[in-house]
Structures are given as C-alpha cells and as structure tokens.
Structure 1
C-alpha cells in the first residue's frame, strides 16, 4: 500500500502553533505568555527567510525532483503555508488582545501616540529630541526612483503626508525604526506609581512626525508599520583561491540583497501607499502579502521590560549543581573516575565551565580540542580556552562559520581566537560540523590521560538556561579515541575523511555510518517482534523528516515493534492502516525548549542508548559531521530512560502528533497531573549517586 508522509514545512507550522498555544494558555504567567508570542513571531520570520525562500527557489526545478525532496509539489505546499499562516496570525492577534487585557489587570499598558497625558507628551518630545532623532533617517519615495535598500529583520514606518491645499496627491516616506540603537520599549512617567505605561519606539517617532517633516509644511500624516522578510540563504562560490571565511563574508553581503519572501503590514495602512510599496518591492500574488495588526517584529517582545508584579520563580526552575560535583573541589577528579550525565537546565552549566577553567590552569594539561557552533555573546567557554593558551596549552577550536544566522559573530570569534594563539579549524568546504565534542589531554607520570564531554546541544552557557539538553562527561578511553579520530579528520580538510571517520568504533558518526547503525538497530527490533519477543524503541528528537528512516519506522510498526516518539518540531511520519502497533508520538512545549536527541533500543534486554547532536533529517545524516555517544554505565542508562518515561507520561504539556496536526493535548485520565519539566526537576534533585 502507498505510504503517507506529512510535508516537512506544514509540520513545522504545526510546531509553531504549539508555541502559540503556550501564549494562549491563561495558566502561563503573563510575562511568559508575552515571551511565547515573541518566540512564535521570531520562528515565523526565520521560517520565511529559509524554508519559504527554499520552496520558491525549488519551483524553478522539475516538479518530480522537488516532490521527492518536499513530499509534495512546492507550489501546493506554499498555498497551504499561506492559508495556515493567515489563520495563525488571526489566532496571534486574538491572543495579544487577551494578553493586553491581562496586562491591564496588573496596571501595565502600552500607549500609542494618540493616548498620552500632557506630561507624557512633553516627555516623548524631549526623549525623541535627546535620544532618538539623531538615529532617524527619513527617506522620501518617488515614482521615478528605485526603492531604497530595506534591511532584513528591521521594522519600518510607512508614511503618507498631505497638505490641505492638495486634493488628490500625497507624498510618501519611510523611516527605519532604530531599535538596535534605542531599544523597542520606552517607559513613560505616570501619576500613579502602581501604573506602568510603556510606549513602542515607532509610536515615539510617529508622535514626532510633524517635527521631523516641519520644513516641508505638511498638515496631515498617516503612519503605519510594515516589515519585509527576505531569502536568507546564500551559495558559496567554488573559487579555490578564496578562503572559506572570505566566502562566508561574501555570502553575508549577498544575503542582504535576498528576494522578499513576505510582506507584513498594518491592515489600516493608507491603501495608495500600500499599493506603492508592493509595486516598488516587485511583489506579486504568489508572494506572501499578509495584513496584520498595528505591531510587527514581535520578536522584540521576547525581551519585554520587567514591569510586572514580582514573579516568584518556582524552585523547579532553579538550576542546581550536579550532586557528583557538589562536594568536590575539582570536576576533573570526578570525571577521571566515572561518567557523569548532566541534564540542562536542571543541572547548572557551571560544571562545564569549571572543567575548562581547571584544564586551563592545570600544569599537567597539554591540550584542549573542542567544537563550536553557536556561542554565547560573552562566551565563558571561549574565555577559558584563551586562558588555557596563555597558560601554555595547545588549544584547537573547530569553529563552524556556516552556523545559520551566527556567521558574522563566528567570523569575529575566529579573528579573536587566532589573535590569542588558538588553532582554529574551519572544517570541510562541503559539509557543516554540527557534532558537540571536547577532548582534554593531560600528562601525568609519563602517562597520557584523556577526558572530555559530548553534548546534544551547543556549548553555550546562555542558551543552556532555557534549552533542555544532555551532556555526558567521560574519560572512557574508547570514546576519547573516537573523538580524537574526528578531530584528526577535521584537521585535514583537503583529505577525504571517510577512512578516518569509519574507523570510529563506539561513536555513531555521520555522514559515514550513523544512518546504517540506526537502521541496524531498528532491524534487530523488527526481528525480535516477528519472533514474538519484546521489541521496543524510544526516539527523542527535534525533527523527524528523513524518508528512509521513517519508512524503516513504518516497517517496524507493521512488524509490531512498540515505538514511542518525543518530537519537538518537524514530524513527517503518519500512522498507516496496516500497522500492528501504532506509533505513539508526542510533542512537549513548555518553558524550556526541548532540544535533546536520545535513542533507546530494547536490544534483547541490552538496552542500547545514545545521546546525539543529530536529528533524523537527511541533512544531519548525510551532509554533516555529527556524533552520537553510547551511554555505557548502567546507572546512567537507567537515569536517562527514567527521564524519557517521565516525558512519555506528561499529561499537561504534551500534545499528540497525528496526521491532521490538531495539536490536541494528551488526555489526563488519572488524578495525577504530570508536567514533565517539573517532574524531571524533582527526579534529578532526589537522585542518589
């Protein structure tokens, strides 16, 4: 029978709908509801910059080829996307109105230029004059002149201006809102100390339009915001005389000239101005032209001012030091003796920083090798590595310059690291390095001791506070040997890495054999199920879209293997009628972003478990350097499986992933409510080692 798949991009919109559900949930604290609205908006921006742009480019290719990549014709997917996005935007607008009502109950208001008190008017005029005006550059628009360059991710005010003596003519202008220079939110003075009045920067500018254009003599102004989302992909040229860093810099510049993929505007905008902008931007009916409410670029609301009544952070949201490190002076001493599994953000990330700091100062440490994909703005990881160099250690950083939207910051990190004497590797020209690895070597009594860590998430202490990930610290010799082999391959980008990577015996490494090993594990479960014996697997991932692995899941479900999936985002599998055991798939969206990748196979009772940097996506399995590390110690296997089982019992924040992507919550059929992120905290806090 023909097999069904849900289109990847449609299932991604299903994930973003789950984010919006959190904003809709009145049991969620008000500041978090606002943050979820910001996350929803930011996610959607990136979706249009990357995925919608890709679909539009794909329409230029033969339909048969593209259908195999996208599961459906790109033109049909784009039609579905537009319908879903408009529907979600309506839900977003209703939610924001509801949130504002809740804000009013706490005496927090966002005021526009029409509803200011006399003292607030004076404040806004003075604030604009002293803080904002120097950053405001009005641009007049003309029929016979090309549209000025509009920066991606920026917010713009579209202005229609008239004089009273003009009957049918308007002058148009645009102003880029200088959010980077001035911030998005301005707190206004109030007569009631319990009341908090905020004003958005664009409204500060709109209030001052008569002042800005005073020398033109205009009498009437109508002003509304809009934003343009552009294609964010760029191609790297094949010039062998150009370094990868130079190619990335060139690509970043070309990204700024990307074609518009979405135009979002205030539906109250002057109709003639709207038509003028659409014409000047060369937009057509096939482009996403989306009418919206007054406020755009809602991503800034992720950093909404702290103006609400004191929110008492639940104890379950406070990170704590892993018990193995609580009563020791040195993390290193523990790791050399035993493996430790850290689960963030429940466990403090300080232990990772401490290990690197200890290594930087330890006179016996000779070298540190580490991969870097997305780093914190003032990275403590990098600071520790620089200190290590200054203390005479040989430090190597595999820095992935092509980490999407982090290219510019990684170029700056490259410059700083090289200036400090760090050896910077840039990987291979045709594949990203996404594996999260670190190996530290020390020499004691003429003997080399190796230890380090492997993670499911970035080495980033900032995101580790909100991303739920696993990191295992180990000194296992076989694991360290494999990590060394990967770094050996990375140090020789002009040499085919196949032989070196295939010699790894413990880590599952892509693109060489991770896929094959996963399939082999599933095949063993299928054999056991067909023999009438226990067969079970649990997969936790961010995305499941690789068609080959999904077909293998279908084969396993048809044979009777019990399959449980915890997938945060994209999930393209669909239960088929011939399945002996239906796949149980859920998605958990809560205060922390579920980011870990875990694989569990019953394996005749051996219970093989891995944590990994790789999702079940073709790009991760075939086109990136990825690594999955086996969990070898029985107590850690038991701990990790217990965490998976807690999530599988979630009946508060878990949604069912089904064919129609209805995002229905798992039904609470027991008296006990299980919110997995809270229960995981309790479980880890009470663990005895």
Structure 2
C-alpha cells in the first residue's frame, strides 16, 4: 500500500512564516505595521531555532544505527531548513530596506552614522555619556557561557587578537533613540555605540561586528517526578535557557572569515550553526518602534473592542447566562466580560467555588486581582496552572505560588500531559440547589493577548455541559480517572474518536448520494490519522474546506489527480492584523449541522497528550452567528492565501467583491448589535 504523502512539518512551518513576511511586503499594510510583521517574522524564527532546531540537533545523540532504522536524518533536514531560511532572510533584508526608504517620504528617518547633522551628533554625545555608556559592559570572550541567549553583542579583537564582547544594552535603554530634527528621526542604539566606541577604548567602529546566540530552549526534565517536584525542577531549570546548548550564531556577514572561525571553534559550533546575518539582529524589537502621533495613517486605524450586547451591560451576569447561552469574540468584543464574570463571582454571596485552568497568566491583570478578591472573600478557588507553558513557566509558577499563599488550591502539570484547555467553572448555592456556570474558549485568559488574538468563547449554564465540565476539573484534581462525556470533546479521552466518527458520518452521507461537508478552522494540521480520514472523506465525495493558519502537512490533490466522484480539499490561511487563533469545526450531518469550538487543533499532541476541551454549539442563534463569522473567513479575498501542494502561498483568486474577513467580522458584529448606538 502506498504510504500517505505528507508535507515536512519543519519545512512547512517556514512557509507559514513566509506568509508573515509577505504581509510585511504588502503595500496595502500601513508602513509601521509592516515593520511589526518583520518583528513577528523575526520573533517566530528565533523561537524556531530555540525549539525545533534544538530538537533536530538532539538527533545527533541518537545511536547512528537507530537513526538509520527510524529514518531520522537530522543533518540533512537541518541543511535544507537553513537553505530556506537563508533565502527568506535575503527577502527580509530587501523588505526592510524598502520600508526604510518609504518611511523617508513620510519624514520618518532611521539614521546611520553617516546621515547625521551636527546637532544630532551633539545630542548623541550627551545622550551616550549620560544614558548608554554605563550599560556597555565589556567582556573577555574566554568562555562560551558568557554569551547569553538572545542578548545583542558586538564582538571585536584587541591588539593581541583576543576576542572581546561589548554588550548592546537594548533592554536597559531601548533599541531606538529619538533624535532632534525636523520630522521624526531615530537611530538604532547599535549605531550610537558604533559611533561612540572610541570613548570606550575599543577598536575603531569598522571592527565591531554584531552577533547574537540562540540557545536550546527545551528543559529536558527527568520523567520520575511528583507534582511539586515538577514545579521545582522547572523553576530551577529555567536557567538552562541562558546556558543551554547553542543552536545558532547569527553574525554580521561582513565579519572577517578568521574571526568567524575563531567564534565557531570557541563555541564548538558546526558549520550549519553559523548563520550569516545583516548589520542588525533581534529585529523583533521593531514591536517597540515609536509611532509618531501626527502620522496616524502609518498604523492601523482604531477599531476599539465592542461592548458585548448582553454581558457588558448586565447587572447580573449569572442571570444573563442562565437565561441564554452567550458567545464572545475577541478582539472584536471587550475582554472585560471575562474579568466581569470572575469579579462578580468573587463578590457574589451565593458563589461557593471558582475553578479555572490558566495556561498563560498575565503578569498583572484585573483577572488575577479578582481571583485574589475571591480568596479574600472566602471562596473556594481551585486553579490549574500550566507549569510547562513554553516561555511562560516562570511567570505561571510565580502566580501559582502567590495564589497558594492566599489560600487557593493550585494544581500543576502532570507528567507528559499539558493542560491546554481554556475553561472556567463557577458554582453558586441557590434555592433549588447548586448551580454551575461555565466558560469554554479557544484562547487564553489573558487581557493582553485578547487584543491581538482572534478567539471565541462560550458562556453557558446548560446542565449537561456544566456537569461534564465539572468532571474535567475532577480529572485535574485526580478524583476522577476518565470523564463520562457525551457532549464535550475532552482530550485525550474522546476527542480523536469523536472527530473520526463525525468524519465517517459524512462519508456515509456522501456514499448514500446525500450532501456531505466538512468545514474546519484551526491553527495547525499535523496528525496523520486525521489527515488520512479527511483524505478518505474527500475520495468518498465529501466537500472539505479548511482554514489553517500555521503549518499544514496535508497535501491537497490537483484537479487532474482527483478520482471519479472525489471532491477537492481546498485550504486557505489568513494572516492579517490579528492572529487567527480560534478553532471551529462544522459538520453538515445530513442537514442537521453540528458545530464545535475549543482549544484543540488536529495535532497529535492536542488529541493524545494534552487536556483539551471542545464544546458543541447548541444555541441556534449562536450557531448562526459563528457560522456567519466562519463564512466571512472562508470567503476572504484580501488576506487569504491558498495552501496548495507546492506551498507557493498564492493569494486567493476571486471575481467576488473584496472581503477582508477580520474587518468584515468587526463590521458584522457592530451592525448586528450596535447599529443604532
């Protein structure tokens, strides 16, 4: 039997990041927003090296005979990946140069040292002496551990050819310096230091070369731990991010080869680990590039979150939810409804218990304040804090300990399982007995990310849904091993089987000559069994339409490859102002449509190795609203790109009117609920 063809996950992720880079090139995107897309591209790539490249490097430790048996070709894969990245970095450099030139026409200037006026030079002299020089730490490079992960440095040689580092203090003074002059003038702090390096007793400016080291971000914890052991080990292991195995040295391409060789030997890096870059690194710092207040057209127009038509104005949020299920859409609607839900629970005399799963906790927020208030008011608060949320472990554990100190019951990760679900449960003691109110969402309980992540969440007091969600928390509390769920999809217990049953149902309808459709939106599609099921459905005549933001391993067939009665699988991806993060799954079901939303993608880890929750949409008005929103995204003709077999990232071709789905969704909700306001 012919093996199913799949796209290479790591290669395909790079084509996802290419879509981000394409937005930076888009002339319709405001100039400073284009810089932010470059920042996103750069940030994504940094994480890719810290995590995925690190994992490929670990393959070298696997016995050669076993690598051959398992067809693990780490070096070959790494080489091809770096070739793709090099091509993208060339495009990145050209895009940045083009944006800088276009900004000049808007009287926004990013200067190098040879474009400065005498007045600006004098300003830099004073600014450097007062604000910068004290942070320019000079380090003898005699030990690789002195190079911190992600920190910007200059490298240079002294007269006896010993290597030295000069720290670029972007964290202390900011990456961009505002200069005097008519219009808007800025300069990289890097160039300020280059200009003033003589005052630091260093070699001349032309012999300072920028470098940045990325280190392995995996923690490689042992498997034999209890809950608190796990938390302590993670907390203690966070330092490995600073001293972990180097995975990439990004260096100025103008650096002499002799100096490159010295660095390579000192850091014990392979040839593939030495990556040529431009004059500037850490360009994710463009997130903080100043936006001139008199140039509003250089950024996106203001689209403030809309108040929720029912929840925002409700005097009793529990009564509103009990009367009817409520759906919220971020960032189109105000995240304050989540905070209001917990705030009312904290102060409501009838509330006895609050339970939540927290995957990425904000450093400070109204939500955490509300939970502390609930504890002060004597509520039972149970929180599941994900101690293994990559790059947020330290903050999550810090908050977990704060909650514990105030009397909360805090549970942490279990071995080999992450809790990725976005769920909350409130219990109230009312006249007729205990009453539950729950929230099931696609995004984190985080007010900051809710402004830029596109997500959905359901509030409901439905007895059967709330009872099943209560069982999820029992599983987390270790008082229940397997939840009994007929309505919710709960990974790793029934999600995979439920999805496969729904797909098989569509196949049966198709074979019976009835209309059969599968429509799904997710972040990533990777799981082999799910891909095989979708391909089987397509061959049986089921119409399959997918929206996948990130990587997608499914290889769609071209028209000429389709068998008789086979329907094509059409996949698009939307990269725009907001990060598409919601998961929506819609099955035609013979005309009695079924829809689910929740936290799980069709990835093996989401189906088999994480606690995930997806809820059916039972309320007909909410069903219609979500389907309308999904339809707008399916019909996007402005920001959607086709995910075909060749990964060309072509824009959707259409003769229809232009639809930019994110803006259309905002307008849809505004017209539906606020037309007369």
TM range, normalised to the smaller chain? over 0.9
Q: Give yes or no for contact 1:498–1:512 (8 Å, CA) kept in 2.
A: no
Q: Give yes or no for contact 1:427–1:490 (8 Å, CA) kept in 2.
A: no
1:200 aligns with 188
* CA apart distance, 1:315: 6.7
1:10 aligns with 11
Instruction: For residue 96 of structure 1, give the secondary structure of its aligned residue in structure 2.
Output: helix
Distance 1:62 1:677, change over 3 A: farther
Which of 444, 450, 454 aligns to 1:468? It is 454
Which of 237, 241, 254 aligns to 1:251? It is 237
Q: Give yes or no for contact 1:160–1:221 (8 Å, CA) kept in 2.
A: no
Separation (CA, whole Å) in 2 of partners of 1:61 and 1:96: 40
Distance 1:306 1:314, change over 3 A: closer
Distance 1:411 1:530, change over 3 A: same
* CA apart distance, 1:281: 1.2
Instruction: For residue 113 of structure 2, give the secondary structure of its aligned residue in structure 1.
Output: coil
Which segments of 5 or more consecutive residues in structure 1 lack a partner in the other structure?
163-168
Separation (CA, whole Å) in 2 of partners of 1:445 and 1:651: 53
Distance 1:133 1:316, change over 3 A: closer
* CA apart distance, 1:680: 1.0
Separation (CA, whole Å) in 1 of partners of 2:498 and 2:487: 11
Which of 179, 184, 196 aligns to 2:175? It is 184
| Equivalence map 1:318-333=2 (5 Å) | 318-333=304-319
Q: Give yes or no for contact 1:596–1:612 (8 Å, CA) kept in 2.
A: yes
2:513 aligns with 532
Separation (CA, whole Å) in 1 of partners of 2:354 and 2:144: 51
| Equivalence map 1:407-418=2 (5 Å) | 407-418=393-404
Separation (CA, whole Å) in 2 of partners of 1:120 and 1:161: 30
Which of 140, 165, 174 aligns to 1:174? It is 165
Q: Give yes or no for contact 1:106–1:308 (8 Å, CA) kept in 2.
A: no
2:24 aligns with 23
Deviations 1:243-292 (A, max 9, x none): 121110232123322222222111122333222212211111232x2212
Distance 1:26 1:240, change over 3 A: closer
2:607 aligns with 621
1:156 aligns with 153
* CA apart distance, 1:319: 1.2
Separation (CA, whole Å) in 2 of partners of 1:610 and 1:27: 34
Separation (CA, whole Å) in 1 of partners of 2:9 and 2:644: 14
* CA apart distance, 1:323: 1.4
1:56 aligns with 57
* CA apart distance, 1:309: 3.6
Q: Give yes or no for contact 1:67–1:74 (8 Å, CA) kept in 2.
A: no
Separation (CA, whole Å) in 1 of partners of 2:101 and 2:255: 25
| Equivalence map 1:46-445=2 (5 Å) | 46-61=47-62, 73-141=73-141, 145-162=142-159, 170-190=161-181, 192=182, 195-213=183-201, 222-240=207-225, 243-287=229-273, 289-307=274-292, 309-311=294-296, 317-445=303-431
Instruction: For residue 187 of structure 1, give the secondary structure of its aligned residue in structure 2.
Output: strand
Separation (CA, whole Å) in 1 of partners of 2:72 and 2:415: 30
Which segments of 5 or more consecutive residues in structure 2 lack a partner in the other structure?
none
Moved more, 625-634 or 117-126: 117-126
Separation (CA, whole Å) in 2 of partners of 1:350 and 1:19: 29
Q: Give yes or no for contact 1:620–1:626 (8 Å, CA) kept in 2.
A: yes
Deviations 1:67-100 (A, max 9, x none): 999x974333322211110010011001001100
Distance 1:146 1:326, change over 3 A: closer
Which of 653, 662, 667 aligns to 1:677? It is 662
* CA apart distance, 1:462: 0.5
Deviations 1:494-537 (A, max 9, x none): x7x542x2x12321011111101100100111111111111101
Moved more, 552-561 or 327-336: 327-336
Moved more, 234-243 or 12-21: 234-243
1:165 aligns with none
Aligned alpha-carbon RMSD (Å): 2.2
Distance 1:137 1:148, change over 3 A: farther
2:35 aligns with 34
Q: Give yes or no for contact 1:158–1:273 (8 Å, CA) kept in 2.
A: no
Distance 1:407 1:648, change over 3 A: same
Which of 586, 590, 596 aligns to 1:604? It is 590
Q: Give yes or no for contact 2:562–2:568 (8 Å, CA) kept in 1.
A: no
* CA apart distance, 1:148: 4.3
Moved more, 464-473 or 196-205: 196-205
Instruction: For residue 300 of structure 1, give the secondary structure of its aligned residue in structure 2.
Output: helix
Q: Give yes or no for contact 2:195–2:205 (8 Å, CA) kept in 1.
A: no
Q: Give yes or no for contact 1:440–1:451 (8 Å, CA) kept in 2.
A: yes
Distance 1:536 1:59, change over 3 A: farther
Separation (CA, whole Å) in 2 of partners of 1:61 and 1:147: 25
Q: Give yes or no for contact 2:525–2:554 (8 Å, CA) kept in 1.
A: yes
In the alignment, structure 1 residue 541 sits paired with structure 2 residue 527: no
Deviations 1:113-159 (A, max 9, x none): 34333332232232222222222210123xxx433421112111112
* CA apart distance, 1:65: 7.7
Which of 479, 489, 497 aligns to 1:508? It is 489
Distance 1:207 1:65, change over 3 A: same
Separation (CA, whole Å) in 1 of partners of 2:442 and 2:205: 56
